[in-house]
Structures are given as structure tokens and as C-alpha cells.
Structure 1
Amino acid sequence: MIGEDCMALATLIGPRGTEALLRACPVEPAVYRRGGSELDERITLPLIGAYIDHGLTDPAFTAAVKDGKAAHPGRFSRDGKLRPGKLRELFEGGHTVNLRHLQTRVPYLAELCREIEAETGYTMFVSGLVTPPGAQGLTHHWDQFLAVVTQLHGRKRWPLWHPEVQFPVDEYLASPTMWTAEMQERWNSTEPYMVFDLEPGDTLVMPRGWVHSPHCLPGDPDPSLHLTFALRERMSLDLAEALVRTALDRPEFRTGIAPIRLTPENLPDTLTDTQTQIVRYLATTSPADVANTVRAALFPKPAG
């Protein structure tokens, strides 16, 4: 099986999910039962609570959101530091606390992410989200990454709608820039395409662009804790850029371009010359000869 050696990825989605993800980029959401993995033993509600209460996260990567509205960062931070107790107050008042880039703060997650990056060739980050019982943080939106959502404590409902845009990325078709009131009205007035209720041990794999509005269920006594592992899938453009970068060995690609050739009136001709140069290089370059160089650019070295 293709996923037999991908133990880190299997920690999130189990062997079956790993096999599926490595063979094809997912196009529809799916839930996998990972069981009691090391992730569930290492990342617990008390641990994340300690990070919140003791200010162990970066305010720049911290948010408190209630019913789609984010609290101003000044309510929980000052001068680049978290204000003691303020995040806990917001949580007790119904805000979801979102701790982004946890892999830069939690050693276990740093190691896990390095291993997954080495297994997949994708880059990634991790967000930890704690939602009070019966509450909701963000409302309808979509992500610009492949989201692997691991439920660790409590229960959370995930209603999903079909994508509004195809294959969004951070700098193109992002949810905050594309959202419209018409979209919101449509989501409010139509039933979701599918609904998942995630419990501890469940992992939702959600492709880029799928609209979601997760929330805790009324009457559930426990808060919800989940981690979102944001995997940035490699695109054809990534391979093309890495392939062109192999031309760095050629002196003609390293020569400078005079400023006059970059002016508005001259740039089209300069681009034409550059295009001709690149096409000639690619036409005479064997993919087999540069494959190792491209792979080294895309796959980080394994930890250790």
C-alpha cells in the first residue's frame, strides 16, 4: 500500500484516509475514524487551556470570534503580548478562541508537521480552536487550503455547501475577498449539501473551497476542541516554477536586465524575449534529468 510508511499522516486520518489522500487530491469531504492516536493523547483540552491562560501563543496569530464577528485584538493583547485572563474571559463570554500556527509553539505538533510535510511534499500549519458549549465562532466561509479537521474533545456540527469558486489559494479567490451578501443569503436559505457531527477520534478531510459553518450543538455540556491541519496542496504551477528554477545553472538566466527594458513601453518585448528563452530551455531539458532537483525543492528533508 502506498501509505504504509506515512505514519504521521495516518495519525490524523488513519491508514484508509492516508491511502486515499496520497493517491488523489480529495474533491468531496469525507470523515475518517482515526481511533485513539498519539495526537489524542498529546493534545488535550487542559493543554490548550494552559496555552490560553498563560499567554503561550502569539497575539498576531490569535483570534476570538463569536457568531462570525472577531473581537478586536486590543481586548486580549497589548504591546505584542497577551493580557492575562482576557482570552479566558472572552471564551467564557461565548467566543471561540483560535490559536493559529500552533506548530511554532507546541513541540509535538512541530515534529508531526515536519513529518507530514516530508511524506506529502505539502507545506502546512495548524490551528487549534476551542468553542464554548452551544456556541459558534466563524459562520459561513471557505478555506484556501485542504483542511484536515481532527476533533479532540466535545462535539461539533459541520454543515457543508458546494464550493462557490474552484480551487482557491491564499492570493486568489480567497473567501474574505470573494464573499458577497448574495452568497450569504443563499447559504442562509438553502439546506447544506451534507452535515457531519464530529466526535473525539473523528477527522474531517475537507477540500479547498467547500463552504462551512461549524458550531457546537445546543444542549451539549462540553466545549469543543479541534485542530485544523491546513495542508497547502501542490499545484501544477508549483511544479512549473520549480522546473523553471532549474535554469539557475545557466548563466544566461542569471544575467541582469537593464532598467530601460522594464519600462512600460519596453516590457512587452522584454517578456517576449524571456518567454522565447524559457521555452527553448524547457524544450531541451529532460524532465528525468531535473526530477531530483525539483523534488528536493518541493520536499523538505526529514527531521533528524
Structure 2
Amino acid sequence: MGNLWSALKFNTTSYRSIKKTNVVLMANPGPGPITRDPPVTKKSAFAAVNQNNHKPRRSQDPKMRSEVNRQQQEARVSDTPVVSQLSDHSWQARSVLKMKKARGVLKMKNRLALERTSLRLCNAQGRPAKKSKWIVQERTCSRTSGIDVVDGSKNQILLKSPGMLTFINSLDEITNSRERASKLFEWLIAPLAPDIFFSKLWETKPLLLRRHNPDYYRGLFSMEEFDRILHKEDIQFGVNIDVTSFSEDKRETHNGSGRAYPSVLWDYFQNGCSLRMLNPQSYSATLWKLLSLLQEHFGSMAGANVYVTPAGTQGFAPHYDDIEAFVLQIEGRKCWRLYDQSEDDRLPRFSSKNFSQEELNHHPILEAVLEPGDVLYFPRGFVHQANCQPSTHSLHITISTFQRNTYGDLLEKLLPQTLQSAIEQDVELRRGLPRDLLHFMGVEHTEKVDPRRKVFQKKVRSLMDKIFDNVPLDAAVDQFAKGFLHDCLPPPLTKHEWLHSIHAQPTHWKDGKVHGMLEPLSGKQTVRLLHGLLRLCAEDNEVRLYHTIENSRTYHGKELGSIALNYEVVGNVEFLLDSYPEYMTVESMPEGSLEDKVNLTMDLFESGILIFGDLHASCHHTPEHHDTLHQRESDFLN
């Protein structure tokens, strides 16, 4: 294996680190005027919406009634799934929901429905549909455009669901970080099965999940936590928080400059402005843990914004985003409207401008009030807007992912490097163009029959084939992966990982000497890597192991950490990567001498990315050893 990486030293295209544009997941508006706008009233916030809420009155004229029915039928076309969990969520349960068709709608039998939910293909009238429209009955607000809506509250199955903190802490019992991430995502979209979500909905259709469980997200975030952050942290206008309003079809940003003091922000809130916190994971350990696992599940950066909206107001204009969005309703109630997208707007690379109500010249495909415990997913490119209900404030979190994570983005990085490398290696690409090229090529010669055109086109195609036959795709993906790792949050360690890592090594100074040093390794010790977000890359005539251990909870707050490796021991790192999450003995590594293996083990351990199966058995014990360890364990738990 060492020879393979040695060969890469000479044959792999040398890629320099590709700097990714520092983009906030949801576009940051520029600083606005410091002067405050008048309060946003319910009348101004809802004026544009109410004008579209008039329903055609039933006419006694058969022709008029037929026309109204036709218009209503067209308005019912919708691909938005609505899935209801008529119970608190119990993530251990595995029974299947049974359904039967009755009077054109789905009627539920009282069986546990938590995973692999049986969904029936129905159209808007309850008859079998030709195309996939995943619909399970549930209530929404006034407009659903063809979605079967049935209030299932009478059939609620009362289950004792674990709180958010209990559930997320229970994931620490799973050794493999990838499995932890998968379990978390199952919980996020329960009762819908992940395979159905990714095969039927991902990047394609919106999804509304109703749970009738206001405690589903308890412990994730709260208004009290939001207020604590405002008081305890250095929150800056435009960097950490935005103040916005939307009134009379106009979106405004009211950011000041410098620190955003709580009294100023709550004054804006009292006057009808929304507050958007841009990086809550920097201050909330629970959100940090949630996003760090989701980023591993998606293979793409996962971010979050927190939105606090006063009752009866709207903070943002209709627009679409360049991210896959999961809206988690934490407190209060908020009415969301989603609009169908044109073919040109599918999966956009950049967010849209703010749209006016006049530009939204069609009915929403979904209009629904989210309540605590609900989640709404919609792909990038779907125009959306949301306004808070008049009775209470709203607190929701938008989790975002898959920004600039497309085939096009990969090729954008790959092609310039590939072409430059090919020009350096192939003399045919360095030969001069025909002297008479301009006499037969160009738009003005398109319709002319000239044999020189065919000869030239054949030559260019053959050169392009040679370029693509030698594309260093794996090396390009490695560089793309480096950008992803730099975007990532650092991994929060489980108690087991922390107690077996360098963080818990009980080395300390007392009575004039050092205690608790790690004893020399014999090769019998068991070791494993810390987590799955590691990447081996061959570049600049060396191999480096990149990791996220030293990343900041603030976007790109630190440089990406890495370790330079000797080619002779790269095979041992691959061995540890392939063995994860199992512990392996140091001496079982396949390459090099025992000394090489021990040195590699210590390099990885001291970099914080390797843990021992029994760290404290490898340390020199003193009477103070256990007291020091217990104190550090207490510090970790707190």
C-alpha cells in the first residue's frame, strides 16, 4: 500500500487547496438603516394574503358551477406530501401503521406507526393515483390544493416519547458515528422512513410532518435559551443576528452596528420585527451536536438559523433558497405558504430576489400552520413565505444543507485543473491551430459545406476524449472533500471517546514532578480512530490526513487540521480507517516495523484523532491519578 501512495507522489495531479467562498447558509442582507420602522400591523402583514383568500361562491347556474368546479380541480394539483404521526414518538417502536380506504380517504387503525410507515398512493379524490403523491391524512390550515386533509386527533396513540436531550444523549451508546447520524435523521423525519424520503422526496417535493406532540423538540432550543445567548454572548448585528420586517409588500433590514444588546433587540421585537440568529450552533451545545451528526449523514455542511417572530407579523418577503431546508417548529404557530417552481428554477445554485405578491400569480401548493413538534421540508428553489399567527409568537429553526454540493460544483473545480494538467502532459494540446481556421470555423460558416470543418471538429473531439480519459477524478473528489471538512463543525465527543482520548490523559504536575505520563507502548494496546470525518489526500508530493477535530463552531473560524504522513505508513492509516469503529492492536497494523507503528499511533493520539481501548491502563498510576481523572470526567459532563 505504501508503494501505491509513492506512485501517487509522482503521478497524481498536484492540486492546491481550493478555497471555498465564505457563504452564510441563508443570505445575509446588508446593514440597513439604524432608524426603526413603525410597528408591523396585522393588517399590513396580511393584506396581500387576504386578497387571494376569496373562494368562488357556489352558483345555481350549471355552466357557472361547472367552470368553478374546473378551477377548483386545477387548484388541487399538488405534490406536497403531508404525513401525520398521531402520537408522541417512541423511537424504539417498530410496528407498522395499517390503513384502509373508506369514503375516499385513508382511515387509520390503532397500531404503532413509527418506522417504515405504510403509505397509500392516492390522488386528490382519494382514488389510486398514477403518480406518486405520498399522502397520509392530517389537518392543515385553509388551503392545501388537493391534499387529502383529515383531522386525526381522535385517533391519537398516546406514547411516552423520550425528550430531545434524552434521545440525543442515548445516541452516545452507538460507537459508529455514521450510525449515530443515521439514527438522528430517522428521528428527525419520523414516522416517514428515510429510504422513502430520499427516493421519493429529496430534491423533488416538499413534505409536511405533523406529530401532535408539542414536546417532540423539548430541550433542543427555546425562547429562554435565545434570551440567554443575547445576554451572555457577544452578538453582533449582521454577523450573528438580523432584525427584519415585511410590511406593505416590502422587506426591510433594521440592523444597527456593533453589538446587538438584548434591550435593543427586544424593543425591535415589541415593535413587530423578526429576529434571525445566524449561527446558533456556536452558542448552543445541543444544536452543535445535532448539526455535527447531520453533516456526516448528508456528506455536506449542515447549518441552522433561529427565527423569532412576533404575533401577527411576517419578517421576510417571498423568496426561494439555494439549500435543502428542514423547518422545525419549536414554539408558537406559523402559517407557511409554498409555491410551485418553474422548470428553470429547479435546484438553483443561488438564492432568489425578494418577490412581490403580484409576482406570485398562482395559488400556493401548500398553505399550512406549523405547530410545535411539526417539521416542514422543501427543496431548494421552492418559493415560500411564512407569517406568525395572531395569537402567539413563533420560534422555529431552519436546518439547511446541500449548498454548492452538486455535480456542477465538482466539475467546476475539476475541469480547469484537468485541462491544465493535460496541456502539460500531451504535446498534441500544445500544437498550433490551423492557419486558415477563421476561414471555415465560426457562426458565419455554420451552414457552409467545407471538409475542413469536419476534420477540425474530429480533431477537437479526439483531444477532448484524451483529456477526459485521464481525468484525476479521485484526486478532485479528495479536494472537494477537503472543502467539506473545512466547512464542518468539530465533532462533540461522547463520554467514552473523551475518556479514552488525549483530553482525559491524567498528566499533571504535583510535588515537584510530572505524574500520569503514558507508558511506552508494547504493541498490545488496542486503538481506533475517533470518528468517520477523516480524509487521506495525496498532494504536493506528500500524503496528508485531514480532520475536523480542531475546527471552530464558527464558520471557517480556524484552518483545517491535518497530519503529514510518511508513505511507508499510509497503509496503516487506511487499515485504521477501514477498521473503524472496531479497536485493533497496534502491532496488527500491516506495514512497517513496530517502532513505525508506535510512532504513528502516538502522532495520531497526540493530534486528538485516535483513542486507546484502555487509556488509563497505559498510564503510570499515582495515588492522585484517580482523583484527577474523576475531576476531568466531572468537567466533561458539566
Which bin holds the TM-score, normalised by the shorter protein? 0.7 to 0.9
Deviations 1:164-186 (CA, angstroms, capped at 9, x unpaired) = 5222223xxx312xx565xx314
1:20-169 alignment runs, 5 A limit:
20-23=196-199, 25-33=202-210, 39-54=217-232, 56-61=234-239, 62-67=241-246, 68-74=250-256, 78=257, 80-164=258-342, 165-169=345-349
Query: Cα 1:36–1:155, aligned 2, differ >3 Å: closer, same or farther?
Result: closer
Match of 2:242, SS?
strand
TM-score if structure 1 supplies the norm length? 0.73
> Which one of the candidate residues 394, 397, 411 is aligned to 1:224?
394
Identity %: 24
Query: Cα 1:36–1:292, aligned 2, differ >3 Å: closer, same or farther?
Result: farther
The code of the aligned residue for 2:397 comes to: L
Match of 1:98, SS?
strand
Match of 2:386, SS?
coil
**Range moving further from structure 2, 192-201 or 27-36:** 27-36
Is it true that 1:240 corresponds to 2:372 in the alignment? no
CA distance in 2, matches of 1:38, 1:245: 48
Shift of 1:237: 1.4
Structure 2 partner of 1:272:
none
Please tell me whether the aligned partners of residues 22 and 120 of structure 1 are also in contact (alpha carbons under 8 angstroms).
no
The code of the aligned residue for 1:235 comes to: T
The code of the aligned residue for 1:167 comes to: L
Please tell me whether the aligned partners of residues 117 and 299 of structure 1 are also in contact (alpha carbons under 8 angstroms).
no
CA distance in 1, matches of 2:214, 2:301: 25
Please tell me whether the aligned partners of residues 55 and 82 of structure 1 are also in contact (alpha carbons under 8 angstroms).
no
- Report how many aligned residue pairs link the two structures: 272
Match of 1:111, SS?
helix
Structure 2 partner of 1:261:
none
Structure 2 partner of 1:283:
469
TM-score if structure 2 supplies the norm length? 0.37
The code of the aligned residue for 1:224 comes to: S
Query: Cα 1:106–1:137, aligned 2, differ >3 Å: closer, same or farther?
Result: same
> Higher helix fraction: Structure 1 or Structure 2?
1
Please tell me whether the aligned partners of residues 418 and 472 of structure 2 are also in contact (alpha carbons under 8 angstroms).
no
CA distance in 1, matches of 2:217, 2:413: 33
Query: Cα 1:252–1:112, aligned 2, differ >3 Å: closer, same or farther?
Result: farther
Match of 1:133, SS?
coil
Please tell me whether the aligned partners of residues 149 and 227 of structure 1 are also in contact (alpha carbons under 8 angstroms).
yes
Match of 2:321, SS?
coil
Query: Cα 1:37–1:27, aligned 2, differ >3 Å: closer, same or farther?
Result: farther
Query: Cα 1:73–1:191, aligned 2, differ >3 Å: closer, same or farther?
Result: same
Whose Rg is larger? 2
Is it true that 1:185 corresponds to 2:358 in the alignment? yes
Match of 1:144, SS?
coil
Please tell me whether the aligned partners of residues 231 and 261 of structure 2 are also in contact (alpha carbons under 8 angstroms).
no
Please tell me whether the aligned partners of residues 338 and 367 of structure 2 are also in contact (alpha carbons under 8 angstroms).
yes
Query: Cα 1:137–1:114, aligned 2, differ >3 Å: closer, same or farther?
Result: same
Shift of 1:70: 2.8
Structure 2 partner of 1:262:
none
CA distance in 2, matches of 1:114, 1:162: 31
RMSD: 3.8
Shift of 1:71: 3.7
Match of 1:204, SS?
strand
Is it true that 1:16 corresponds to 2:192 in the alignment? yes
Query: Cα 1:18–1:59, aligned 2, differ >3 Å: closer, same or farther?
Result: farther
Please tell me whether the aligned partners of residues 53 and 87 of structure 1 are also in contact (alpha carbons under 8 angstroms).
no
Match of 1:59, SS?
coil
Shift of 1:140: 1.3
Is it true that 1:207 corresponds to 2:370 in the alignment? no
Task: Work out which structure has the larger RCO, using CA pairs closer than 8 Å and 6 or more positions apart in sequence.
Answer: 1
The code of the aligned residue for 1:168 comes to: P
